[in-house]
Amino acid sequence: MTKLTAHDLAKKQKEISVAEFFERNKHILGFGNATRALVTSIKEGVDNSLDSCEEVNILPEIYVEIKNHEDGECKIIVEDNGPGIVTKQIPHIFGRLLYGSRFHAIRQSRGQQGIGISAVILYGQLTTGKHAKIISKVQQDRPAVVMELAIDTNKNRAEVINRETVHWDKPSGTRVEISIIADYKRGKRFVYDYLQSTSIVNPHAQITYKDAEGEEYLFERTAEATPKKSCEIKPHPYGVELGTLIKMAKNTKARKLSTFLKTEFSSMGDRTTNAVCEKADLDRNANPKEMKREEFLALHRAFKKVKIMAPSTDCLSPISETLIRRSLKHETKEISPEFIITASRPASVYSGNPFQTEVGLVYGGTLPRDKPVQLMRFANRVPLLYQQGGCVITSAISSIDWRRYGFEQPSGKGMPSGPAIFLTHVSSTQIPFTSESKEAIADIPEIENEIKLAFRECARKVQHHIHKKVRRKKTREKFDLITKILPEIAKKSANMIDKPIPSLDAVITKIMDIVWIEDLIEYEKVSRQPVQTTIIPDKESDNTRSEGTITKSKIMVVNYKHNSQKFNLYALIPKDAVVGSVEPKPAKIANNYIKWNLGTIPPANKVDVSFELAGLEKGDFDENDLYVENINPAFVIGADKWEGD
Amino acid sequence: MTKLTAHDLAKKQKEISVAEFFERNKHILGFGNATRALVTSIKEGVDNSLDSCEEVNILPEIYVEIKNHEDGECKIIVEDNGPGIVTKQIPHIFGRLLYGSRFHAIRQSRGQQGIGISAVILYGQLTTGKHAKIISKVQQDRPAVVMELAIDTNKNRAEVINRETVHWDKPSGTRVEISIIADYKRGKRFVYDYLQSTSIVNPHAQITYKDAEGEEYLFERTAEATPKKSCEIKPHPYGVELGTLIKMAKNTKARKLSTFLKTEFSSMGDRTTNAVCEKADLDRNANPKEMKREEFLALHRAFKKVKIMAPSTDCLSPISETLIRRSLKHETKEISPEFIITASRPASVYSGNPFQTEVGLVYGGTLPRDKPVQLMRFANRVPLLYQQGGCVITSAISSIDWRRYGFEQPSGKGMPSGPAIFLTHVSSTQIPFTSESKEAIADIPEIENEIKLAFRECARKVQHHIHKKVRRKKTREKFDLITKILPEIAKKSANMIDKPIPSLDAVITKIMDIVWIEDLIEYEKVSRQPVQTTIIPDKESDNTRSEGTITKSKIMVVNYKHNSQKFNLYALIPKDAVVGSVEPKPAKIANNYIKWNLGTIPPANKVDVSFELAGLEKGDFDENDLYVENINPAFVIGADKWEGD
């Protein structure tokens, strides 16, 4: 064998086009097999449609169709009523990988890579050799453009095959038609599941789906308002990488360090900026372009040493606990679950990217007890259907010891088994997906931690719930005994000795020796709204909140102790509910609770407490969460110790 | 709110540089957290070094060092004795993502994406703001080049900061020094594990590792020959995508379809080419550049209808069952396993890419019985350390019902629990990794299937092994009873009636009624070789095979049936062993077995069979696998029914 040298090897070293790379590695984009390719293609189309509608504040109306030809070929059609795409951008958006509008903006959106839809076109031409067809209309009074295009993978550029204009009976919108090789028979179930899950977390979207057999499905809109639009923000100093900081300083227009910090980062006011400069021992007026690596290093370290306000969460658009609860309730009707619990975390930051976690837990009913819990994963309102094993959501859940919450879990690690559905939604300006196919979230410690904290809170609530139920049941038995048998004995005894029946209050309170709190929730329809309409609690639609359903909570506090009691009562309320009339007059109405300073309750007396909530649907709030203060909670049944806000 | 239009959105739509994309999505490249970043950086350096040494047939000597500075900064050093890199290519190889020599070649290699090492440099500058340093020497009699460089992420091009020449006391080689932010304390364990695992599957490499505390570890070379160099091949018609076929035809220099097929694909001889053209109803002389999509479609379909030879496996470099067995045996010495079983599959194809699966299973000993089995995953001789949950190896194993092979597995799915280590090695010209970090293999159905088949074979062998052991033990008890008690009785009876002791053969054979096969394996050192040297069975080092250790297998066949027996005996032998003397003369020596037509064996007689194997180390072959033909296997203890090759 002749010995090769570095010069021989150099002849083979050359550039790889990004399109060529992904053509070869199509599984990275979610096209690993013909089943998944079908779902991925639809998903990329629908995600794009939802994003573009939301960007211009249009209520999305999306039409999805699959036409199944022979030999495993499918034509995928996704059409929307969004703003359309200007003609000269069509070849870039659809015919190039790594091109888009959402990559450089820091705010929550579904697409963020500029790969999705062009990847579908790449996959389509790779497997069928056919061109993609794009129809776009950007203005009511102008015709639509129809473009047929292919991707030149050596150059990562579009090849426009044909272009014409047509009349399109729509104010504006985009329609893509792409032929791909796909396994329709196996994939159709996943397409339905994906669209249904999408509809759950996007109640403002209407999705019509026509399958290859011609069957039409309608996923109805249940909310008439688009979600609060996520705003674009600047990077947050916590977690910004040193290299990024240096790069930003090189490119800034600011001539002073203080201006640079205040204009190019979020949460940097005058005071924080001064504090950072001081900690870093840097001149506020230094020119950022002339600073040295060591100075940036000092600045970078100073960021971590100064308390900087968390980034604004305007850039995020979480689903909300109420909506998660409602979706879960709706989706699990047939299971008749024992309870549904939700938890959400405040926004947090990883590598300068804000993110927020919301979780839900459905327990009991007819869910199987010996199977692993079902997992529903969402990221930026997009369902994640594959790669569950490689997702941080799975590893976060697996690291919690679920055995003490009534789940089976060998050695206290791994996915627990039990009658439950776990839902997780992570929203972020930048979801760290493990790959370009966006099917799993990478194991970023900050995110794993937040998911764990959210589920721990859920788990505590589960424990609390079970505990409360057991205690109440036990006391109830005692209570029934006393209130039925004691009066009977008293009556008989009185009769026997021919005396009036004595008051048993003192005896009962002596035996019971507790404060008993019982509650009831009722719903009342308000007639001004048509019955079918669903109102989504949303900060932007406050004016509609007082209509629809009124949730009425009635609480009865009975003092079964032998001396008078005087204490404070707290009732938790959903953050997005509007509080109506409250009886008696509360001491405080906070964002998420109502507080009463209850007057003195003599032994064997009771006090009625009630409040009304608007902005919720029937069943959104179906269980009171009550707490007491200034009384030993061991003597209270139906409420726990108030631990502070 | 003013309503945005498509024109407003168009202003934001722009190109994303691939470096910028990965800078933002560094977790996709394996830099998701500071622990993993450390291992990934070392891994990319070492993989590159191994690849380049093998390319020019140099036995790799690799030096790895980590220097740990304050504030979580580590300097990673990887040095090799490979061919070096020519000066003008250094900025491209290290300062650009998607640039390399191995992407366009179809053959097995570790790096295939042209991303790895430049990603480490990107991560280094992002987190520390420091430049990378590369030293390269390509020729014995010339100085080395030292280059300091950074990556301009907006352009995906290198920025050369400094360049000089120095004397380097080495014939040729490459050294990279990169500073990164990394969690040394947590990561060091993984670095050691990675290097150890690498050494297991690369016995020809010598790796020296100096950790941040100055401790030096040597992973010694145990094989003196580089593995068979994998050859570059052409794409195979099975699985080549229609779009790729069209693209190849557009770029071909061939003017005739038949020439195109014969020169640009593997396994396409005259006969196959004709058969394909005929099936596709295409003219052999058609100009491929002028063919229409429909004609390519017909051609593409014809590929699947004609039997085409599997691709040459020259492009692959599997580890070999013997070496896997030996590694496992070596690594599990302290566990004292009950048995080690290996299985390998013939090469197969997915999307035109040949691949091959090898698996090993270590069972019993001190391995924990109540924990999930340990999994060791390898791809192209590289250990996969992360993302086990998202890997096709995990899902393939999880889909097998392991309960009947003595493992615990709730509901017959998921990773089984039991005292075992499962090793899997997938080699391919193109490993379909789930992401650019190359930590998990995507769930390609063809690969999943091959892994399943390999493990099923393992599982069957486990069952066979347990079955044989139980049966032999049972018969042995009977045998002991007969051979000890019967002669005693016979002796006493003969004494009592004063007659000679009768022959018991007929009685024994009547009671036993079986053919008993027992075996013994011995090893003999051949003195010509130094004792420490390990010989790796390798097609290129045939001349060294007859030296080292001779494995001697001795088999005794005893006929305990009451009539004469005449049957054939088969002994399996490792594919890579060389057969020495065989007694008696065999009927056939095939690639993986020896066959004897045993002469007639009268009742109570025995036949001795023996063979010698060279090219193996002591213990590589430590249990005979015997089969019989032309006899009812129910009457044979120690061998099973021969089912054909």
Is the CB of A634 inside 8 Å of chain B's CB atoms? no
pLDDT digits (tens, 9 = 90+) for A308-362: 988 777 888 888 888 888 878 877 888 888 889 999 998 888 877 889 999 999 9
In this predicted structure, the answer to whether residue B463 has a pLDDT above a threshold of 60 is: yes
Say whether both B140 and B286 belong to one domain. Answer: no
User: Position of tokens 């004709």?
Assistant: B274
CA closest to B58 among chain A residues: A3
What's the pLDDT band for B538 if we cut at 50, 70, 90?
very low
What was the pLDDT predicted at B597? 93
Contact B568, B642 (CB under 8 A): yes
DSSP 8-state secondary structure symbol assigned to residue A548: S
Report the alpha-carbon distance of residue A53 to residue B382 in Å, rounded. Answer: 46
The total number of structural domains that make up chain B: 4
Give CA–CA dist A300/A280, Å, rounded: 8
Confidence band (pLDDT; 50, 70, 90) for A616? Answer: confident
Of A129, A371, A389, the CB nearest to B394: A389
pLDDT of residue A397: 95
Same domain, yes or no: A296 and A369: no
**Residue A346 Cα, gap to closest chain B Cα (Å):** 22
Left, alpha or beta for A273 (phi > 0: left; psi -120 to 50: alpha)?
Answer: alpha
Determine contact: A113 vs chain B, CB below 8 A: yes
pLDDT, mean of residues B413-423: 89
**Structure tokens of A268?**
């940097």
d(CA B565, CA B601): 5
**Tokens of residue A82, six digits:** 């969004």
Digit-coded pLDDT (tens) for A256-297: 999 999 999 989 999 999 999 999 999 999 999 999 999 999
Q: How far apart are CA A152 and CA A605, in angstroms?
A: 83
Kindly report, residue by residue over B481-490, the tens digit of the pLDDT: 777 777 788 8
Q: Which of A573, A572, A552, A551 lies closest to A618, judged by CA?
A: A551
Closest approach of A444 to chain B, Cα-based (Å): 6
Contact residues, chain B, for A433 at CB < 8 Å: 25, 28
CB pairs under 8 A between A and B: 250
Among the partner-chain residues A56, A297, A390, the one whose CB lies closest to the CB of B390 is: A390
Same domain, B52 and B199: yes
Distance CA B300, CA B351 (A): 12
What lies within 8 Å, CB to CB, of A532 at 6+ separation is none
Looking at chain A, the whole-number percentage of residues with pLDDT higher than 90 is: 49
Question: If you count DSSP H runs as helices and E runs as strands, how many of each does chain A have, helices first?
Answer: 14, 26
Q: Is B456 exposed, middle or buried (0-12, 13-18, 19+ CB in 10 A)?
A: middle
Provide, as residue numbers in chain A, all residues whose Cβ is less than 8 Å from the Cβ of B5.
56, 83, 138-139
Same domain, B264 and B354: no
Q: What is the pLDDT of residues B230-265, one digit of tens each?
A: 788 888 898 788 999 999 999 999 999 999 999 999
Q: Are residues A129 and A214 in the same domain?
A: yes
CATH number at residue B254: 1.10.8.50
Is the CB of B215 inside 8 Å of chain A's CB atoms? no
**Residue A32 domain-assigned (yes or no):** yes
Using a CB-CB distance cutoff of 8 angstroms, which residues of chain A are in contact with residue B180? Answer: none
**Three-class DSSP category at B62:** strand
How far B633 CA sits from the closest chain A CA (Å)? Answer: 42
Q: Is the pLDDT of residue B330 over 50?
A: yes
Give the A window 131-170 contacts with B, CB below 8 Å.
136, 138-139, 153
Q: Sign of the CA dihedral A315, A321, A323, A325?
A: positive
What are the φ/ψ torsions at residue B135 (nearest 5 degrees)?
-120, 135
Give the per-residue pLDDT at A539.
41
Report d(CA A474, CA A7) in Å as an integer: 85
Shortest Cα distance, chain B CAs vs residue A113, angstroms: 8
A128 and A158, same domain (yes or no): yes
In chain B, residues 419-458 whose CB comes closer than 8 Å to chain A: 430, 432-436, 440, 442-445
| Residue pair B316/B379 in contact by the 8 Å Cβ criterion | no
CB-nearest to A93 from B13, B139, B391 is B13
One-letter amino acid for residue A269 of the chain: G
| Mean pLDDT in residue range B540-549 | 50
The answer as to whether B254 is a domain residue is yes
Same domain, B630 and B531: yes
Contact B14 A99 (CB under 8 A): yes
Based on the fold, state whether residues A183 and A43 are members of the same structural domain: yes
- CB contact set of A11 (below 8 Å; sequence gap of 6+): none
The boundaries of the domain holding residue A392 are 337-463
Q: Which of B219, B246, B268 is the last residue of a domain?
A: B219
Q: Are strands B382-384 and B353-363 parallel, antiparallel or unpaired?
A: unpaired
Decide: B638 and B517 in contact? Cβ < 8 Å: yes
Q: What is the pLDDT of residue B541?
A: 42
What does the mean pLDDT of chain B come to? 87
Per residue in B21-40, pLDDT (tens digit) is: 888 888 888 898 899 999 99
Q: What is the CATH number of the domain that holds B85?
A: 3.30.565.10
B105 CB neighbours in chain A (<8 A) are 12
Please tell me whether residues B150 and B241 are part of one structural domain. no
**Which of A84, A389, A436 is opposite residue B6, by nearest beta carbon?**
A84
B435 and B524 in a single domain? The answer is no
**Which CATH number is A557's domain given?**
2.60.40.1170
Decide if pLDDT at A56 tops 60.
Answer: yes
A331-364: b (≥16 Cβ within 10 Å) or e: bbeeeebebbbbbbbebbbbbbbbbbbbbbbbbb
Q: Return d(Cα B593, Cα B571) in angstroms, integer.
A: 5
Is residue A496 in a domain? no
Of residues B53 and B13, which shows the higher confidence score?
B53
DSSP B27-73: GGGT-SSHHHHHHHHHHHHHHHHHHHHHHTTPPPEEEEEEEE-STTE
| Paired tokens of A411 | 């050695």
pLDDT tens-digit map of A10-27: 887 778 888 888 888 888
Residue among A605, A606, A597 nearest A568 (CA): A597
Does a structural domain hold residue B162? Answer: yes
Q: What is the pLDDT of residues B123-174, one digit of tens each?
A: 999 999 999 999 999 999 999 999 999 999 988 999 999 999 999 999 999 9
Beta-bridge mates of residue B65: B77, B210
Contact flag A5-B241 (C-beta cutoff 8 Å): no
Residue B260 lies in a domain: yes
Task: Please give the pLDDT value at position B25.
Answer: 85
Q: What is the mean pLDDT of residues A85-93?
A: 93
Across A364-434, the runs of DSSP E, i.e. the strands, are 374-379, 382-384, 420-428
Shared domain check, B352 and B285: no
Answer yes or no: is B450 within a domain.
yes
How high is the mean pLDDT of chain A?
A: 87
Q: Can you give the pTM of this predicted structure?
A: 0.80
A208 Cβ contact list (under 8 Å, min separation 6): A61, A62, A63, A64, A216, A217, A218, A219
Can you give the pLDDT at residue B213? 94
CB contact under 8 A, A246 and B442: no
Q: Using the 8-state DSSP alphabet, how is residue B601 labeled?
A: B
- Is the predicted pLDDT of residue A431 greater than 70, yes or no? yes
Asked if residue A540 has pLDDT above 60, the reply is no
Q: Does residue B267 lie within any of the structural domains?
A: yes
Per-residue confidence (pLDDT) for residue B547, from 0 to 100:
53
Let me know if residue A116 belongs to a domain. yes
- pLDDT value at position A527? 65
Same domain membership, residue A103 and residue A190:
yes
B7 to A138: CB separation less than 8 angstroms, yes or no: yes
CATH at A395:
3.30.230.10
pLDDT per residue as tens digits for the range A498-511 = 888 877 777 777 77
Which among A621, A544, A549 is positioned nearest to A329, based on CA atoms?
A621
Rounded Cα–Cα distance for residues A112 and A103 (Å) = 5
Q: What is the mean pLDDT of residues A109-123?
A: 86
Contact B2, A417 (CB under 8 A): no
Residues in chain B within 8 Å Cβ distance of A390: 387, 389-391, 434, 440
| C-alpha distances in Å from residue B261, one per residue of B53, B288, B303, B306 | 34, 9, 11, 14
Q: Which of residues 284-343 of A touch B (CB under 8 A)?
A: 293, 296-297, 301
- Which residues in chain B have Cβ-Cβ distances shorter than 8 Å to A243? 23, 125-129
